[in-house]
């Protein structure tokens, strides 16, 4: 029988919820060495939420030492592949079994509808851990061609200690994209979640140990970027940083790697993805893709379709369809409301930044078609309605900067050449899409858009088998798919000579 979730249901679940805000190091919860904490303010109503350990260099040192000890002992990497697989599959099952709890933690931290947290974020997190768990006993090494008197093994070996630094927009999903392949490959991890969204990460780590992951293989240190993230990225005993976040901080991470031990880095950064609609496209399908692609998760999505490039002849028709669909289907409401499709922005400072960007955009001449206003302020939370600006040019700030709010910039074009030039006129290269019935044109476009993912007549479709990541200043390295394993490993050649 399908369960019915009401606002009262989630309110009473909240009453019984334990908010664990301490680090998780060596298999146990620990307060910060300094004893300091910080308070997370809930985006849905502006009330104080969890108290979190305020991690600093001392806590990072302890977590890295714990990860290193687990790695060197071989307690995980040398375990039978079948055993490792069973543990990761058990972990995935525990995530599913604790789905409602994890969904609540995620929603309290980030303000997205709790049903989205449950049906999307928890599900994809568990699926991600399962995907990499299943891979563990299916990965083979190589034997290189040699003469008859030698045998050369080419082994794929784990790097050692991975520092994972993650953002707040899809915390559980992105944690799984990093933890799944890093741990499946045999590494130990120190995870530093965003200061806005630590609760699900702490719980994921304790569930991993409950599933049988040896203590020390996965550690979580909470805290601010400068205080906890930076010492992790500068640490001399960390072999790699897997980072997802802004391009600005991604550049710092590269610098920290260079200043310390030349550790590897993989960077999943920002985006300003173009969605191109030609006049021959199915405009209903395009309107739906644009609205969900840009407004889902309140626009706090790295690959959101924030730049709509639309052939001038159909601009008005398409914008009218986007407005109608947004108003009928994308309900903005308190995250516990079952009807809510989108909820609050991450924090007040971010909401104010988005509102300031909108004001600057209007001064530059962007014309508001609808929405993009602060709403539900009586809740105490941080909500902005989905909105569209039209008749824009690609040099306006709303078309160039990543807004990370529910704001669409619509830019008209006349020819295919112009559309392609505008699509690629950005520092980012995370994703893009083209809507047309002309398949030759669709394929020309998908080849020529400089982005890690290009969709044809759809948006935001993917599965774990497809790599995800960026070109240009959207970063490098790929999450998801079998290829994600590669970045957490290196090749080791073992040459044996006979006679």
Closest residue by Cα to residue 459 from 422, 482, 420, 431: 431
Structure tokens at 41: 């303010």
Quick one: which of 108, 114, 165, 419 contacts ligand NAD (CB under 6 A)? 165
Using CA atoms, how far apart are residues 156 and 154, in angstroms rounded to an integer?
7
User: Can you state the angle between helices 199-211 and 81-97, rounded to 10 degrees?
Assistant: 130
Quick one: which of 59, 239, 268, 337 contacts ligand NAD (CB under 6 A)? 268
Interface map 453-472 toward ligand NAD (x if CB under 6 A): -----------------x--
Considering beta carbons, is residue 174 or 291 the nearer one to ligand NAD?
A: 174
Stretch that binds ligand NAD, among 161-169, 257-265, 312-320, 435-443 (CB under 6 A): 161-169
Asked if 269 touches ligand NAD (CB under 6 A), the answer is yes
Compute the least distance from the CB of residue 22 to ligand NAD, in Å.
Answer: 17
Considering beta carbons, is residue 52 or 211 the nearer one to ligand NAD?
A: 52
Bridge-based pairing of strands 28-30 and 37-41 is unpaired
- Sequence length of the chain is 499
Quick one: which of 181, 216, 270, 405 contacts ligand NAD (CB under 6 A)? 270
Quick one: which of 37, 57, 246, 401 contacts ligand NAD (CB under 6 A)? 246
Which are the catalytic amino acids? Answer: 268
Asked if 430 touches ligand NAD (CB under 6 A), the answer is yes
Compute the least distance from the CB of residue 193 to ligand NAD, in Å.
Answer: 6
Compute the least distance from the CB of residue 129 to ligand NAD, in Å.
Answer: 18
3-state secondary structure of 455: strand
Interface map 206-235 toward ligand NAD (x if CB under 6 A): ------------------xxx--xx--x--
Structure tokens at 310: 């639309």
Considering beta carbons, is residue 406 or 470 the nearer one to ligand NAD?
A: 470
Asked if 406 touches ligand NAD (CB under 6 A), the answer is no
Using CA atoms, how far apart are residues 322 and 433, in angstroms rounded to an integer?
16
Compute the least distance from the CB of residue 268 to ligand NAD, in Å.
Answer: 3
How distant, in Å, are the alpha carbons of 15, 42, 114, 344 from that of 381?
Answer: 19, 8, 15, 7
Using CA atoms, how far apart are residues 178 and 355, in angstroms rounded to an integer?
32
Using CA atoms, how far apart are residues 77 and 183, in angstroms rounded to an integer?
9
Q: Give 291's contacts (C-beta < 8 A, 6+ positions apart).
A: 322, 325, 326, 329, 330, 386
Burial 36-46 (b: 16+ CB within 10 A, else e): ebbebbbbbbe
Using CA atoms, how far apart are residues 50 and 225, in angstroms rounded to an integer?
18
Structure tokens at 352: 């104010």
Q: What torsion, rounded to 10 degrees, do the Cα atoms 56, 61, 62, 68 define?
A: 150
- Burial, 117: exposed, middle or buried (Cβ in 10 Å; 0-12, 13-18, 19+)? buried
Compute the least distance from the CB of residue 343 to ligand NAD, in Å.
Answer: 17
Quick one: which of 26, 99, 160, 245 contacts ligand NAD (CB under 6 A)? 245
Asked if 387 touches ligand NAD (CB under 6 A), the answer is no
Asked if 240 touches ligand NAD (CB under 6 A), the answer is no
Asked if 302 touches ligand NAD (CB under 6 A), the answer is yes
Asked if 27 touches ligand NAD (CB under 6 A), the answer is no
Considering beta carbons, is residue 226 or 448 the nearer one to ligand NAD?
A: 226
Contact 167, 117 (CB under 8 A): no
Kindly identify the residues of this chain, within the stretch 175-204, that bind ligand NAD according to CB under 6 A: 192, 194-195
Quick one: which of 107, 117, 130, 169 contacts ligand NAD (CB under 6 A)? 169
Residues that bind ligand NAD (CB under 6 A): 165-169, 174, 192, 194-195, 224-226, 229-230, 233, 244-246, 249, 252, 268-271, 302, 402, 404, 430, 470, 474-475
């Amino acid at each position: 029988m399908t369960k019915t979730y009401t606002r009262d249901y989630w309110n009473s679940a909240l009453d019984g919820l334990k908010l664990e805000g301490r680090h998780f190091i060596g298999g146990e919860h620990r307060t910060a060495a300094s004893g300091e904490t910080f308070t997370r303010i809930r985006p849905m109503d502006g009330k104080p939420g969890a108290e979190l350990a305020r991690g600093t260099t001392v806590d990072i040192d302890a977590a890295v030492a714990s990860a290193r000890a687990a790695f060197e002992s071989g307690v995980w990497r040398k375990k039978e592949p079948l055993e490792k697989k069973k543990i990761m599959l058990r972990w995935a099952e525990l995530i599913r079994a604790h789905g409602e709890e994890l969904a609540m933690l995620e929603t309290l931290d980030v303000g997205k509808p709790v049903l989205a947290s449950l049906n999307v974020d928890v599900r994809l997190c568990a699926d991600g851990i399962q995907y990499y768990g299943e891979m563990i006993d299916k990965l083979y090494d190589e034997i290189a061609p040699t003469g008859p008197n030698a045998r050369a093994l080419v082994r794929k070996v784990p790097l050692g200690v991975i520092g994972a630094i993650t953002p707040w927009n899809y915390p559980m999903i992105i944690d799984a994209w990093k933890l799944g392949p890093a741990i499946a490959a045999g590494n130990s991890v120190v995870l530093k979640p965003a200061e806005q969204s630590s609760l699900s990460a702490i719980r994921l780590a304790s569930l991993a140990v409950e599933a049988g992951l040896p203590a020390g293989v996965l550690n979580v240190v909470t805290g601010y970027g400068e205080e906890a993230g930076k010492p992790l990225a500068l640490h001399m005993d960390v072999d790699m940083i897997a980072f997802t976040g802004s391009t600005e901080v991604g550049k710092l991470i590269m610098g920290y790697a260079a200043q310390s031990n030349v550790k590897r880095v993989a960077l999943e950064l920002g985006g300003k993805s173009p969605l191109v609609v030609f006049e021959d496209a199915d405009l209903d399908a395009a309107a739906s893709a644009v609205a969900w692609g840009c407004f889902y998760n309140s626009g706090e999505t790295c690959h959101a379709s924030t730049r709509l490039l639309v052939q001038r002849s159909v601009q008005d028709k398409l914008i009218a369809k986007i407005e109608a669909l947004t108003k009928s289907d994308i309900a903005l409401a308190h995250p516990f409301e079952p009807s809510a499709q989108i909820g609050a922005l991450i924090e007040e400072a971010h909401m104010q930044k988005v509102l300031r960007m909108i004001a600057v955009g209007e001064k530059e001449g962007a014309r508001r078609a609808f929405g993009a206003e602060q709403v539900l302020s009586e809740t105490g939370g941080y909500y902005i309605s989905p909105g569209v600006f039209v008749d824009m040019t690609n040099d306006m700030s709303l078309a160039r900067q990543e807004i990370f709010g529910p704001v669409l910039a619509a830019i008209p074009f006349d020819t295919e050449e112009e559309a392609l030039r505008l699509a690629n006129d950005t520092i980012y290269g995370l994703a893009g899409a083209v809507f047309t019935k002309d398949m030759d044109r669709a394929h020309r476009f998908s080849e020529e858009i400089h982005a890690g993912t290009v969709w044809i007549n759809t948006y935001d479709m993917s599965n774990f088998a497809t790599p995800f990541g960026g070109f240009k200043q959207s970063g490098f390295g790929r999450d998801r798919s079998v290829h994600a394993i590669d970045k957490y490993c290196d090749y080791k050649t073992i040459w044996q000579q006979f006679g």
